[in-house]
Amino acid sequence: MLWLGMGIPVLGAVLTAFALNVLGLGGESESVSPPAGGPSVSSSSGPFTVSARQENDEGCTATPRKVSSLEDRAELVSGGDVGAVVRRNQGARVGELDVSLTIEGGTVPLTITSIDIKPKSPRPAPPLSGTLLCEPTAGGEPKIQLFADMDRPEPVFLTGKSSTQRYFRDKVITVKPGEQVNLSASFLAGNGSREFGLIVRYVQNGKEATVPVPAPRGGRYAVTGYSKKYEALYTGSRGGVFQLIADPELCRWSPAPQC
């Protein structure tokens, strides 16, 4: 399920930069392609700007297949660019993906009528079971909270974690000129894996329109539940170096990895 709060499973410890780069959600925006190695840049010509940044300081990430290239394995065990390894191998956060959204108004007031979740597939795929990368967890404070079950065929934002009421059925978000509105989304998955997009629907001067919220750094929005087993497991350290666990089949994954 997905929880839009300002808050954030797990094991070992890793570089803070890894958390920001794990899915490339290091600070993205509405319409301009990101420069190589950097975050997306917001467009200043639109009615407003919207950006996303991953909030998970720590957690686990899984890849569809075992990380096997010499280059990638060297990056992991030497403290290299772990985020680049994750992006090259199409990794996804495990259990929970926390993303903060920042909407900044332009010169004319507008009303956000909905933030839509657009899954890339009709139903969740099996959990990713290639390589699992883990580091410790952290938390935060929510400003606006929304919830959605990412295991459902058509996930939507709800008013509470156990609620069935759609948040945007009775509520909207008004953005004044120059005002900054901060939200935080936690996308939770328990049974499968899901890649998805985000679209902001708004009304300005009586006209309806939409703005996509692309992921930064060439990354993607993706979350996966824990698999029953993995082909490989690495645990991280605060210095950014990962250690390969010899026999990941001896580990238990739910509710958090234990080896």
The answer to whether 199 and 210 are in contact (CB under 8 A) is yes
Q: pLDDT tens digits, the chain, 259 residues: what are they?
A: 444 443 333 333 333 333 333 333 333 333 333 333 333 434 445 688 888 888 765 788 999 999 999 999 999 998 888 888 999 999 999 988 888 888 999 999 999 999 999 999 999 999 999 999 987 554 444 467 777 789 999 998 877 777 788 888 888 999 999 999 988 788 889 899 999 999 999 999 999 999 999 886 668 899 999 998 899 999 886 557 888 988 777 676 665 666 6
Other C-beta atoms lying within 10 Å of the C-beta of residue 214: 22
pLDDT at 6: 37
pLDDT at 178: 92
Torsion of CA 248, 249, 254, 256, to 10 degrees: -20
Q: Please give the distance of CA 70 from its chain centroid, rounded to a whole number.
A: 27
pTM of the model: 0.74
Count Cβ atoms within 10 A of the Cβ of residue 251 and give its class: 0-12 exposed, 13-18 middle, 19 or more buried.
Answer: middle
